[in-house]
Structure 1
Amino acid sequence: MNTEKNKASISTPIGGGGGIVIINYGAGNIQSIKFAIKRLGYEAVLSNDVSEIKHADKVIFPGVGEASSAMQKLRDSGLDTLIPTLKQPVLGICLGMQLMCNSSEEGNTKGLGIFDIDVVKFDKAVKVPQIGWNQIMNLKSRLFEGITEKEYIYLVHSFYAPVCNETIATSTYGLEYSAALKKDNFYGTQFHPEKSSDVGEKILKNFLRL
């Protein structure tokens, strides 16, 4: 009974707002995220509307593609100024997480400055992009409740955020890097929880229950 009430409380936004909003700015694998949320028993809407995003209960900020062009799309829609001011739980995924950092070497891109770290490219000693399954370790925060060390998650990326004070999970590819970040109400995962099987679904569920 309580579970159903919790689901209903963050279902599809109706009228004035609320619910789960996936930011739709033309640079994200948004449909797979929406389907993953639906498999968990929730509904989410896709939106680039500033008011709808501002009044959502949960916000997911996806990203697939190149950093500088994705950041330009955020600026064009005014979302670059909105996202850092959000007070509800926000989850950045892959490029979304990287854009929440201070900057990225990809396209010499200035980021949103939420996470105090600069995104850099993997060394030439490893093959890029890193594509496939890898383990996550050093898990912190409620985002990983019920997840054990060295579980496998799915990644596709050529750039990474170094380990820093805001790191809540790490992975290794030639070196140790941040697999997830957290600051206040902002969370970021370098991996794709929507593609990470049961582990990813559990992480998404933990986020939706924050």
Structure 2
Amino acid sequence: MAAEGMIAVIDYGMGNLRSVWQAVVHVAEGREVCVTADPAVVAAAERVVFPGQGAMPDCMRELDARGLRPALLDAAHDKPFLGICIGLQMLFQHSEEGDVAGLGLFAGSVRRFPAAQMVDAAGVRLKVPHMGWNEVGQTVDGAGVAHPLWQGIPDGERFYFVHSYFVDPADRGIVAGTTDYGIPFTSAVARDNIFAVQCHPEKSAQAGLALLANFIHWSP
């Protein structure tokens, strides 16, 4: 049974989680926020944040080394679930980074930015990794409504990114946000109880805090 209000930030040894923890605590309105590598704590949480940074093969290896895969997959099926950066990419079937399998929750691949297309509108070459602030265009449903996690956040708001790879979903119906960097790419996906972003909301000032606050109150 889920602990009332408890939010688990999954720690599988990849990246400094302090900034994620601090940002979630800031909007959690007194709820317990626990950074954990314990599958039992993940199972007991009401909602789960799955962040990460680093190389996809290392992340997948460390997740399995800590025995977190089953708890993570269970959480992704029945709890409000927020993936951040690598925590988005790992939800897909396969990554070009290290030619490694992901968790397979979403059909599709993780691809590297194509070097030949990395130029801006003025023809200036763009650097990879994509690092810095960029706009996120919000995808709307048939009724013209954006996902609840975008509530109060203007379409085209700027968020902070650091990545060399992007997700390429097989089902375009899960795309919740897009961004342009040389090419248009999917920067947010959503399905049922899962929402995941390529950007770092914990480093994205008020817009990022608004997204995290929306997640805290989200009832999918």
Is the structural similarity TM-score above 0.5?
A: yes
Name the TM-score, length of structure 2 as normaliser.
0.84
After TM superposition, give the deviation of residue 77 of structure 1 in Å: 1.6
Which of 93, 98, 108 in structure 1 is aligned with 2:99? 108
After TM superposition, give the deviation of residue 28 of structure 1 in Å: 3.1
After TM superposition, give the deviation of residue 135 of structure 1 in Å: 0.2
CA distance in 2, matches of 1:184, 1:172: 26
* Amino acid corresponding to residue 119 of structure 1 in structure 2: V
* Amino acid corresponding to residue 129 of structure 2 in structure 1: P
After TM superposition, give the deviation of residue 145 of structure 1 in Å: 0.8
Which of 152, 163, 166 in structure 2 is aligned with 1:160? 166
Secondary structure of 2:108 counterpart = strand
* Amino acid corresponding to residue 178 of structure 2 in structure 1: T
Residue 55 of structure 1 is matched in structure 2 by 44
Secondary structure of 1:36 counterpart = helix
Name the TM-score, length of structure 1 as normaliser.
0.88
Q: Cα deviations across residues 15-70 of structure 1 (Å, max 9, x unaligned)?
A: x8440110011013310011112222344111111111011011000111000011
Residue 151 of structure 1 is matched in structure 2 by 157
Secondary structure of 2:202 counterpart = helix
* Amino acid corresponding to residue 157 of structure 1 in structure 2: H
| Unaligned runs of at least 5 residues, structure 2 | 119-126, 140-145
Q: Cα deviations across residues 120-168 of structure 1 (Å, max 9, x unaligned)?
A: 0001132210000000103431110111111100000000012622110
Secondary structure of 1:191 counterpart = coil
Tell whether 2:187 aligns with 1:187: no
More relative contact order, 1 or 2 (CA 8 Å, 6+ apart): 2
CA distance in 1, matches of 2:163, 2:15: 14
CA distance in 1, matches of 2:37, 2:24: 18
Tell whether 2:204 aligns with 1:196: yes
Tell whether 2:83 aligns with 1:92: yes
Are the counterparts in 1 of residues 138 and 150 from structure 2 also a CA contact under 8 Å?
no
After TM superposition, give the deviation of residue 95 of structure 1 in Å: 0.6
Secondary structure of 2:159 counterpart = strand
Are the counterparts in 1 of residues 131 and 162 from structure 2 also a CA contact under 8 Å?
yes
Residue 65 of structure 1 is matched in structure 2 by 54
Are the counterparts in 2 of residues 114 and 183 from structure 1 also a CA contact under 8 Å?
no
After TM superposition, give the deviation of residue 81 of structure 1 in Å: 2.6
After TM superposition, give the deviation of residue 184 of structure 1 in Å: 1.7
Secondary structure of 2:168 counterpart = coil
| Unaligned runs of at least 5 residues, structure 1 | 1-15
CA distance in 2, matches of 1:53, 1:141: 25
Q: Which runs of 4+ in 1 moved over 4 A?
A: none
Residue 170 of structure 1 is matched in structure 2 by 178
CA distance in 2, matches of 1:83, 1:186: 12
Residue 69 of structure 2 is matched in structure 1 by 80
CA distance in 1, matches of 2:196, 2:216: 14
Are the counterparts in 2 of residues 162 and 176 from structure 1 also a CA contact under 8 Å?
no
Residue 128 of structure 1 is matched in structure 2 by 128
* Amino acid corresponding to residue 31 of structure 1 in structure 2: R
Greater CA drift, 59-68 or 135-144: 135-144
After TM superposition, give the deviation of residue 176 of structure 1 in Å: 1.0
Residue 46 of structure 1 is matched in structure 2 by 35
